[in-house]
Structure 1
Amino acid sequence: MASFLAIWGGGEYVANRLGAERGIYERIVGKELHRLFLAITPQEFVLLHLFAFAGGIGMGILLLGNPIIGAIVGGAAGAWGPRIYLRRAWVARIRGVDEQVEEAMVYMSNSFKANPSLPEAIQDVINSMGAPLSQELSVLLKEYKLGTPLDQALVNCQRRMPSRNLELAISALVIGRTVGGNIPQILSDISNTIRESFRLERVIDTQTAQGKMQAWVMGMMPGVVLGAFYLLDPELITPLFETLPGYLILSGAATLNIIGVSMILKIVSIEV
């Protein structure tokens, strides 16, 4: 009887703990989904994450043929896949805002010349441009209409969206409004600065393209060589995939290969 109560109490504790952890995860995911403007609830994303985890295990076992290795590899892919998707979507969103700011400053400058009202100029940008910048500016205007001072709403927008170009534009706008500068000229100068920055980025990308290609070629070469040896003499390579020392050798080689490629890409990546 005591053993049964202990097991029942332990199971209840585990269930409560899992429920609490799920609630924490849903809150974290909810914030990420909200900032990405995705039409999906945290509960739905958690279910999709569980399906991805289970499906990854099944696919890993099916493709690799080894239940243990397949479950580990597939489970890891299913567990990290949705999180990686959210991260990449956030990076792509920041990049999208960066690319739209220059054009938005042109729209805003022209609108401000016709009607010297910054909220109206922001509304014109929202009407003229698409997501993601229009979504961020819509939130800014909603805050302003609900009573938040315009300068504070601009700062809040800057904090929500860590875009380098948007930060430059908002900082210049806030300073210009504070000291009473020529807002249309400030917006035009920001547009020119961002345009020149993009030009320099394209030049740097062209100059470093060869180094990046060399990194990827070097990263793929071990796999190509391994495949060639397998075609020439399968018995020589088979122990790498069927024995523990082979697993350790492959894991170590893959880790060193990833580190090497990452270091090369880090060297040839230049921030403007």
Structure 2
Amino acid sequence: MRRLLAALVLLAIAPGTAFAAGDPSVRIESVKVTPGHASLVLTTANVDGPVQVTAGKTTLASRATPISSAKAVTAPTRAVILVLDTSGSMAGTGIAAARQAALSYVNSLPGDVLAGLLTFSDRPRLVVKPTTSRNSVRNALARVQASGDTALYDAVRAAADALASTQLGAGAQRRLVVLSDGVDTSSKATLGSVTGRLAAGHIPADVVAFRYGNGDRSAAQQIASAAGGRTLTAQSAPELTAAFAEVARNFTTRSTIDVLVPDALAGQRVSLRVTVGAVHAETTVTFAALTPTSTPTPENAAVPAPPPHRTVWTWQLLALLSGVFLFVLLGVVLVRWQGVREDTTRQLLHQVGQYGPRRDEHAATEAEGAAARTAVGFVGQALRSAGAEQGLARRLDLADIKRKPAEWALLTLCAAAVLVVLAMMLGLPPLLSVPAGLAGGWFLQFAFLSIRISRRRAAFSEQLPDVLQLIVGSLRSGFSVAQAVDAVVRDGTQPAAGEFSRALAETRIGVELEQGLNHVAERMESDDMRWVVMAIRIQRGVGGNLAEVLKNTVDTMRERAQTRRHVHALSAEGRLSGYIIVALPILLALFMTYTKPEYMRPLYTTPAGLMMVAGGALLIIIGAFWIRALIKVEA
């Protein structure tokens, strides 16, 4: 393939060669062959008509598509720099005519041609590097002003160097269009060095001599003839515009010719002829051989079995997991519905039993579903065997969730099953989906219970000053401490009423009231409640006015709560900044992974990327703790 491409490059006409003005021409710039297909880049000038491609005597099916700037990457790059004289002799009508002619030239260029602008007076200045943005050149032309001497040779050399430094790739076509109204007066470069630079770089320069009159045009002609350019003269603005239009014909519209290669010509070296109207171009091409799609199999050879249909297997597994999830969910719903029905039945039996004969309570339990009993019993036995039932029951009690540990564990399994299904639908392998789903389900239930517990304890702390105020009022009315606590229970404000009810229930089985209240403080993790218990114990030991002590405690609590809320408000900006700083890199990484996976893939597929991710995660964790320490104020 490399030898073929090299031969095609040698056969192609050099991209720096210009078409003669008005002569119809066709040129094949490049050829790319693939099995059953060939693609040609064709340049035409001053010719119109249908395109016909033949290989010897065989006419090939073809389709021509003009190359726009968006598709120019399929063909050799073309670039031109407009070298514009802005010396003092061009002031007035001269610079206006030059600006208008240059604008028409830029507008007439094909979209794939890179256009740049270099102005010169005392010294050259590259205003716009070669680009496909025509607006950049237009805006630069609108700002040119005329003043100073003429450094023509320096400008041509600088433009040639700018084209050479631009990364255009092999086979690129480079040209200069020079507009000047007089001979050089202030260049440091010599005419010989400039023509040598153009010839060495194969950069043709078309020179437009504007208002030369009887002046010496030899320098302009030598610059133009150094690499195959032309010299055009213009004495007025219309002639200048016509000269630029003539020069613009060097860059004609190119087309991509897609050719279908018959099987009979596959792998053969042929003379390819492209005809447009009455003009044609030829090149020698070796078409690519067809790749075998199948090989004969001997009769006694074993035919390999087709690979398993992974899509069907995946959906079968998803269906199985969905069915398991539905069965488990049905069991949990049945258990919950049965529990509610049993509670309602017992209340009705208790009310009716006061006035009539009692009916057998076992009749209600006979209707409980066998599947629900089996599921709850199995999960409960597993929790007891693991020693986790008591701990889960305590957390459920603290979160005020009226469910048995076995029922809660079943709900956790249901959530885990949902996460497993979602992970597999996202493409995660089953061996990773199952443990990831189980871990995710456990984490969700743990986070949910922790949030419920923390909110309940916070609510208890908020209610405690009002509860103590009620106890103070009861004590001043002559009630005992136990009676005052009972008044709090009858008030029914949750969660304070439920927790103090536990303390009263413990006193009925022989536990001292102070100890029961201390249990409440431990369950709610309330330092304020511990102070209340301490005050009650001191009052019982040494005597005194307990109501007054509790009143002072309430005032202190309320002042501390007010200070805490004030500090919370003052630190809101810091907390918000911490949330944003911690969440921003994580969310940005997730967004980039979703939108540009190929950009983020090296982070988790290479050792260096994994080290960077680990280091970034460690820095985020350290920063989160640091910000938390900065904004945390003990009130």
TM-score (norm: length of structure 2)? 0.37
- Measure the CA separation in 2 of the matches of 1:29 and 1:176: 38
Greater alpha carbon shift after TM alignment, 124-133 vs 195-204: 124-133
- Measure the CA separation in 2 of the matches of 1:211 and 1:72: 37
Which residue matches 1:38? 401
> Does the 8 Å contact 2:592/2:600 carry over to 1?
no
- Measure the CA separation in 1 of the matches of 2:479 and 2:610: 68
1:23-172 alignment runs, 5 A limit: 23-62=386-425, 64-67=426-429, 73-172=436-535
**What displacement does 1:37 show?**
3.6
**What displacement does 1:22 show?**
4.5
Aligned to 2:633, the other structure's residue is in SS state coil
- Measure the CA separation in 2 of the matches of 1:225 and 1:83: 27
**What displacement does 1:117 show?**
0.8
Matched AA of 2:517: L
- Alignment of 1:237 with 2:607, yes or no, is no
Of the two, which has the highest radius of gyration?
Answer: 2
Greater alpha carbon shift after TM alignment, 259-268 vs 107-116: 259-268
Greater alpha carbon shift after TM alignment, 112-121 vs 244-253: 244-253
> Does the 8 Å contact 1:61/1:74 carry over to 2?
no
Residue identity over aligned pairs, in percent, reads 24
Which residue matches 1:10? none
Greater alpha carbon shift after TM alignment, 107-116 vs 257-266: 257-266
Q: Which runs of 5+ in 1 are unaligned?
A: 1-17
CA 227–42 in structure 1, closer or farther in 2 if over 3 Å, else same: closer
Deviations 1:51-74 (Å, cap 9, x if unpaired)? 222222222333x43336655654
Deviations 1:144-199 (Å, cap 9, x if unpaired)? 12222223323333333321221122221222222212111111111101100111
- Measure the CA separation in 2 of the matches of 1:127 and 1:265: 41
Greater alpha carbon shift after TM alignment, 26-35 vs 97-106: 26-35
Aligned to 1:146, the other structure's residue is in SS state coil
Which residue matches 1:187? 550
CA 77–96 in structure 1, closer or farther in 2 if over 3 Å, else same: same
Greater alpha carbon shift after TM alignment, 237-246 vs 192-201: 237-246
Deviations 1:38-61 (Å, cap 9, x if unpaired)? 211111112122222222222233
Q: Which has the higher strand share?
A: 2
Which residue matches 2:540? 177
- Measure the CA separation in 1 of the matches of 2:383 and 2:445: 21
**What displacement does 1:252 show?**
4.7
> Does the 8 Å contact 1:57/1:78 carry over to 2?
no
CA 251–141 in structure 1, closer or farther in 2 if over 3 Å, else same: same
Greater alpha carbon shift after TM alignment, 88-97 vs 137-146: 88-97
Q: Which has the higher helix share?
A: 1
Aligned to 1:40, the other structure's residue is in SS state coil
- Measure the CA separation in 2 of the matches of 1:264 and 1:71: 36
> Does the 8 Å contact 1:98/1:164 carry over to 2?
no
> Does the 8 Å contact 2:383/2:406 carry over to 1?
no
- Measure the CA separation in 2 of the matches of 1:44 and 1:264: 40
- Measure the CA separation in 2 of the matches of 1:154 and 1:238: 57
- Measure the CA separation in 2 of the matches of 1:59 and 1:22: 30
Q: Which runs of 5+ in 2 are unaligned?
A: 1-380
Deviations 1:196-217 (Å, cap 9, x if unpaired)? 0111101211221111111112
Greater alpha carbon shift after TM alignment, 118-127 vs 21-30: 21-30
> Does the 8 Å contact 1:169/1:190 carry over to 2?
yes
CA 28–110 in structure 1, closer or farther in 2 if over 3 Å, else same: same
Matched AA of 1:109: V
Matched AA of 1:269: K
Aligned to 1:115, the other structure's residue is in SS state coil
Deviations 1:125-159 (Å, cap 9, x if unpaired)? 12224111111100111111222222332333333
Matched AA of 1:112: L
> Does the 8 Å contact 1:240/1:249 carry over to 2?
no
Aligned to 1:130, the other structure's residue is in SS state coil
Aligned to 1:204, the other structure's residue is in SS state helix
Q: How many residues align?
A: 254
